[in-house]
Amino acid sequence: MSSARKPTAKSEAHSLGQPDPAGCPVGSLFSMLGQPHMLSVLHAFLNEQGRPIRFGELQRELDLSPRTLSNRLKALVEAGLLVRRRYSEIPPRVEYEATQKARELGQLFREMEAWASHNTLTVVSSVSVVGRA
């Protein structure tokens, strides 16, 4: 009898500290950040200079469904890029704030933006015919 367990959504979650199965050390980061709306959510925090943002404010700003936003925030918290604070108040209040890890990633984004501003990604033909008339 095999002791291998069936993968769960939790075990398949992207872990920033682990290389992806293909062996690329940043593959898991790109995979997580490549999810729809993930960069928009993270960008909102990096633009706020460390200010906590409430769920409702973020939802209005990004115009995302509550479920999508909740899933993206959960992934960013699990990755250590955001911290979630829940206050025992009525109505309930939940705030999210970028961590030092996210701010360091923001520096990388700024460097990538500078690179992209003077380098274009153009489509080039991948097939050329040589010697045919």
Query: What's the per-residue H, E or C state across 6-32?
Result: CCCCCCCCCCCCCCCCCCCCCHHHHHH
Please report the domains of the chain, with CATH numbers, ordered by start residue: 27-114 (1.10.10.10)
Nearest Cα neighbor of 42 from 116, 86, 104 is 104
The answer to whether the predicted template modeling score (pTM) of the entire model surpasses 0.85 is no
Environment class of 100 (CB within 10 Å of its CB; exposed 0-12, middle 13-18, buried 19+): exposed
pLDDT tens, 66-92? 999 999 999 999 999 999 999 999 988
The pLDDT assigned to 42 comes to 94
pLDDT tens, 19-70? 556 677 688 888 899 999 999 999 999 987 779 999 999 999 999 999 999 9
**From 4-13, 66-75, 76-85, 108-117, the region with the lowest mean pLDDT:** 4-13
Assess contact for 63 and 113: CB atoms under 8 A.
no
C-alpha 26/C-alpha 16 separation (Å) is 8
Q: Binning pLDDT at 50, 70 and 90, where does residue 133 land?
A: low
Q: Is residue 92 reached through a cis peptide bond, with omega within 30 degrees of 0 on the bond before it?
A: no
The pLDDT assigned to 48 comes to 75
The pLDDT assigned to 29 comes to 87
